[in-house]
Amino acid sequence: MSALDELYQQVIIEHNRKPRNFRVIENATYVAEGFNPICGDHFHIYIVVGDDGCIEDVAFDGKGCAISKASASMMTQALIGKSEIEARQLFAEFNSLAKGDLDPDKDDNTLGKLAVFSGIWKFPARVKCAVLAWHTATSALDEVDIVSTE
Amino acid sequence: MSTTIEQMNRVSFDADRIRADFPAATRTVHDGRRLVYLDNAATTLKPRVVVDALAEHMLLGASNVHRGLHYLSERATEAYEAARDSVCDFIHAAAREEIVFTNGTTAAINLVAHSFGSLLGEGDEIVVSQMEHHSNIVPWQLLCERRGCVLRVAPIDKNGELILDAYRDMLSDRTRLVSMVYVSNSLGTVNPIEEIIAGAHAVGAKVLVDAAQAVATRAIDVQALDCDFLAFSAHKLFGPTGVGVLYGKQVHLEAMPPFLGGGDMIASVRFEKTEYNRLPYKFEAGTGNIGGVIALKPAIDYVSAIGFDAIQAHEQDLLTYATDVLRGHEGLRLIGTAREKAAIVSFLVGEVHAHDVGSILDQEGVAIRAGHHCTQPVMEFFEVPATARASFSIYNTREDVDALSLAVRKVEELFE
């Protein structure tokens, strides 16, 4: 597979074309805004946390390139049903994957379908596109921390 | 008839021979793909003569200027000042005192914003256009915050042309400075700079011309233009990064206070009273990019030897060809369709984000810029987050346009 085909895998193209959970959640537990000033990528991430502390619903809206949009779309699917700890673990794994520090075929991971981003590290300028939604979601969860300590 | 002249120009212009002078233009990328370098509006490639001059200074000279009494310092000073004379001739300045070396266009504009700007006050107006680079917006916004001046923005139309009437209506006896781009880096628009300058002078305002993008594409005669200031960078003129030029009419530079204080810009320093150096050194505090300045001269010599008539004919041919070829792509949208343009083509491929276009083209060996090109107000005006931009130079050919077109086809296939 060429580097390009590895970057723009069918799954990514497809999620870009038809992003999942691409909507606004009114009254979300947490809303965070992610912005990449160099690219102009701009997303809002909406997270609903249930009484049991698990993520019940995640959605996003905004504008971005195929990589950032597909990543956001797949992230929403991956986060639903996860606990906060599991979500953070997944973010850490995804971050390592995007930077080329984690090989999904060799290293232990819970990435599942997200492994489709394993070729992104070969495109250093695009790593930030792939992790934008994840950083945004984490900053929303950090707000949870701040709120819970008060 | 025009076809015949175009064909003659194409035959007489030997882009392949020029290409051979630029080692980067003949290199490969991504495991053996021929590099098609179409990011010339960001920076041009460097010919060997420029790199040789820089290397020679670093390896055999490396001395500071204007102070040492030894052999190497004298040689460095000679070469440094010869570059100033070269710039003076190149832009047809009246005197070498009017040529100030800075570290780039941005620094040159900031120098004017600080020094000339310190003479402005509450309610004084500065006029820019909607197509300015951020470097010709932010320094004026900062000045407005410092001095209570007002920044006014002359609008553009859907083709990316300045609306001259709206610009003229904006001018008044409150206008102190018009700072405008000659050639737009994101749209390619060539502004009617003579009319812009005449309009400003009619109300007694001074004019700064941002010639960063213009300098490698057309002959510049600051006396014929009658501009008050003009700024450009060496690195968009086949020279090194970190070197820029501020041209200013001597009468203005004399009246302006120094910008940066330090060594070289002084005649004498006492705690009671410091006397400033004469022009242009008053504005050249500290040790500059000596090797870079020295290497600007061979860059100027290089383009001068080709001549701007030939360069313009070649680049206009590429612009026309690229515009036609890209228009042949269904769903491709050109951003910037001014009647007079430099060889810069901004475009969008269907709904595909410019960064995806950039990455795919790069894998095909085609280097373009994708983004807002430091002109966010332009992107906002056209309601796009970013564009892909191909910009052409003397070593580019129609084959490069064809390679661009093939790579765009790849984008279309991938995202169809």
Q: How far apart, in Å, do the first and last CA atoms of chain A sit?
A: 51
Phi, psi angles (nearest 5°) of residue B248: -145, 140
For residue A21, the enclosing domain spans 3-145
Please tell me whether residues B241 and B374 are part of one structural domain.
no
The verdict on residue A74 lying in a domain is yes
The parts of chain B modelled with pLDDT lower than 50 are 1-3, 8-11
CB neighbours of A135 closer than 8 A, spacing ≥ 6?
Answer: A34
DSSP strand E in chain A: where? 30-36, 41-49, 55-63
The residue assigned the tokens 């995806």 is B356
**Percent of chain A as helix, strand, coil, to the nearest 5:** 55, 20, 30
CB neighbours of B366 closer than 8 A, spacing ≥ 6?
Answer: B36, B38, B390, B403, B404, B407
Q: Give residue A37's pLDDT.
A: 76
Pairing of strands B99-102, B244-248: antiparallel
Tell me the Cα Rg of chain A: 15
Which of B281, B305, B329 is the last residue before a domain boundary?
B305
Residue B189, CA distances (Å) to A103, B32, B274, B326 in order: 48, 35, 45, 18
Which of B259, B279, B305 is the last residue before a domain boundary?
B305
Q: Count the domains in chain B.
A: 2
Please tell me whether residues B182 and B71 are part of one structural domain.
yes
A7: nearest Cα among A109, A127, A94: A127
The parts of chain A modelled with pLDDT lower than 50 are 144-150
Q: Give residue A106's pLDDT.
A: 92
Instruction: Determine which helix (DSSP H) or strand (DSSP E) holds B126, and give its type and residue range.
Output: strand B125-129
Q: Give residue A147's pLDDT.
A: 29
Residues of A in contact with B361 (CB under 8 A): none
> CA-CA distance, A66 to A127, in Å (whole number)?
12
Please tell me whether residues B361 and B396 are part of one structural domain.
yes
- Degrees, nearest 5: CA angle B168-B173-B178: 55
Considering only CB atoms, A129 lies closest to which of B352, B355, B371, namely: B355
CB B124 within 8 A of CB B147: yes
Please tell me whether residues B208 and B280 are part of one structural domain.
yes
For residue B19, the enclosing domain spans 2-48+307-415
Q: What is the DSSP string of B163-206?
A: -HHHHHHH--TTEEEEEEESB-TTT-BBP-HHHHHHHHHHTT-E
Please tell me whether residues B275 and B404 are part of one structural domain.
no
Please tell me whether residues B224 and B118 are part of one structural domain.
yes
Instruction: Name the DSSP class of B99.
Output: E
The residue assigned the tokens 């209570």 is B148
Interchain contact, A64 vs B353, CB within 8 Å: yes
CB B331 within 8 A of CB B414: no
Q: Give residue A145's pLDDT.
A: 36
Please tell me whether residues B77 and B162 are part of one structural domain.
yes
Interchain contact, B371 vs A39, CB within 8 Å: yes
The model's pLDDT over A63-91, given as tens digits with 9 standing for 90+, comes to 999 999 999 999 999 999 999 899 999 99
Residue B405 maps to which CATH number? 3.90.1150.10
Please tell me whether residues B250 and B349 are part of one structural domain.
no
The verdict on residue A150 lying in a domain is no
Residues 338-357 of B with CB under 8 A from A: 352-356
Please tell me whether residues B101 and B181 are part of one structural domain.
yes
Q: Count the domains in chain A.
A: 1
The verdict on residue A99 lying in a domain is yes
Please tell me whether residues B15 and B82 are part of one structural domain.
no
List the single best residue of A5, A8, A18, A122 to mutate versus B (max B Cβ within 10 A): A8
A63 and B CB contact within 8 Å: yes
Q: Give residue B31's pLDDT.
A: 87
Please tell me whether residues B31 and B91 are part of one structural domain.
no
A1 and B CB contact within 8 Å: no
Which of B305, B329, B362 is the last residue before a domain boundary?
B305
CB B22 within 8 A of CB B45: yes
B296 and A CB contact within 8 Å: no
CB B132 within 8 A of CB B154: no
Residue A62 maps to which CATH number? 3.90.1010.10
CB A55 within 8 A of CB A87: yes
Tell me the Cα Rg of chain B: 22
